Structure 1
Amino acid sequence: MSGSAAPTSLSTVQKVLLLASALVLAALLFLLRGGLTSESPMDQLARRSPLPEEALANHRPTLIEFYADWCEVCREMAPAMLANEQRYRDQLNVVLVNVDNPRWQDLIDRYDVNGIPQLNLFDAEGQPRGRSLGRRSQKELEALSEALIDNSPLPQLAGIGDTTPLTPETVATPAPSGVGPRSHG
């Protein structure tokens, strides 16, 4: 009888260990996938984003990203944007503006958004410093953020441009015939 009890006991121990291992792996997978809040980085940023007018008035530099949920580049850049927002949370406002939301049409028009992702960069007084078009790496986002925080010149990156105020002379100068914002001429 003692010979038959050992295999049953060993089988029960194996089953318990297997069950415990499965539970530990399931819990680990659950935590790695975000637990109960499995929001994407873009959703997390959008949810925590201050309103643009509040951000531009709180005496901190501001980075406004114009994005869309369907924009693949925006989604690919979101983890780097989230890491950037978390790193500089107490020094920099990171604001997301969804171009598909009619609520933001006035901002889209004001900042001449005609491609996404577009980052508009503002100093601590809410004055425009520049804008960035297209994908940005984590390192590039950090360089932009640090320049805004330090109030130093923006880094020289492709797709970065300074914003210049319109003067009466600029507004009064007519564009050559046949040249428009989308003519590439």
Structure 2
Amino acid sequence: MTDSSPNAGLSPLQKGLLLVAAIALAVSLFLLRNGGSLESPLDQLARRSLPPEVALTNGRPTVLEFYADWCEVCREMAPAMLEMERQHGSALDVVLVNIDNPRWLDLTDRYDVTGIPQLNLFAADGSMRGRSLGGRKADELNAIASSLLDGSPLPVLAGIGSSSPMPEAAAFDATGPRSHA
């Protein structure tokens, strides 16, 4: 029986060199894709994020992203988010909150996170200006950042809009027609 595998006529040295070349190529492609970092863009953003309470009180506009490591759309959007952070990072805070971390349960409840990625958009004074649901392209993120930085109206994009806090008095009324009271 003859060996018909592609490595059949290769010496152990040649096989070793091929393995080293394959590993080097894989590492090079990973680094090229991640801007020269061994960390993914999502990991880079998460590691560099300020705590939300700091970002919302430091006098800079903030983009607060609710994400998860397993979220494919979050990973696809991460390079554009990282570029936005690099471009505007001296004037704009980009904060990532992992919804799978129980530490952030209060924030996911407070901001009614029902899908990811969700971007909550805050003015420099910490007031919420709007919210964006779903993935965003680089040009959309830059338009959002620009409007937060110059205080202009948020861009008109599908899945984005202003929001208003619900007053305490307008909270659930148990005496309504469906209360069964």
Which bin holds the TM-score, normalised by the shorter protein? 0.7 to 0.9
Aligned equivalents of 2:135, 2:176: Cα separation in 1: 32
- C-alpha distance 168-53 of structure 1, shift in aligned 2 (>3 A): closer
5+ residue gaps, structure 2, are: 1-19
What aligned pairs does 1:100-179 form with structure 2 within 5 A after superposition?
Answer: 100-168=100-168, 170-171=170-171
1:50 is aligned to 50
Q: Secondary structure at the match of 2:91?
A: coil
Aligned equivalents of 1:104, 1:77: Cα separation in 2: 21
Q: Are residues 1:34 and 2:31 paired?
A: yes
Aligned equivalents of 2:135, 2:41: Cα separation in 1: 15
Question: Which residue identity lines up with residue 83 of structure 2 in the other structure?
Answer: A
Deviations 1:131-184 (A, max 9, x none): 000010000000000000001110110000211122355336679867xxxxxx
Runs ≥4 residues deviating over 2 A: 26-37, 167-178
What aligned pairs does 1:5-24 form with structure 2 within 5 A after superposition?
Answer: none
1:8 is aligned to none
Q: Secondary structure at the match of 2:31?
A: coil
Aligned equivalents of 1:163, 1:31: Cα separation in 2: 44
Aligned equivalents of 2:97, 2:55: Cα separation in 1: 12
Q: What's the TM-score once normalised by structure 2's chain length?
A: 0.77
> Higher Cα Rg: structure 1 or 2?
1
2:92 is aligned to 92
Q: CA deviation at 1:33?
A: 3.4
Q: CA deviation at 1:38?
A: 1.1
Question: Which residue identity lines up with residue 87 of structure 2 in the other structure?
Answer: R
Question: Which residue identity lines up with residue 81 of structure 1 in the other structure?
Answer: M
Aligned equivalents of 1:156, 1:73: Cα separation in 2: 21
Aligned equivalents of 1:157, 1:175: Cα separation in 2: 38
Greater helix share, 1 or 2?
1
Aligned equivalents of 2:46, 2:79: Cα separation in 1: 12
Aligned residue pair count = 158
- C-alpha distance 175-38 of structure 1, shift in aligned 2 (>3 A): farther
1:75 is aligned to 75
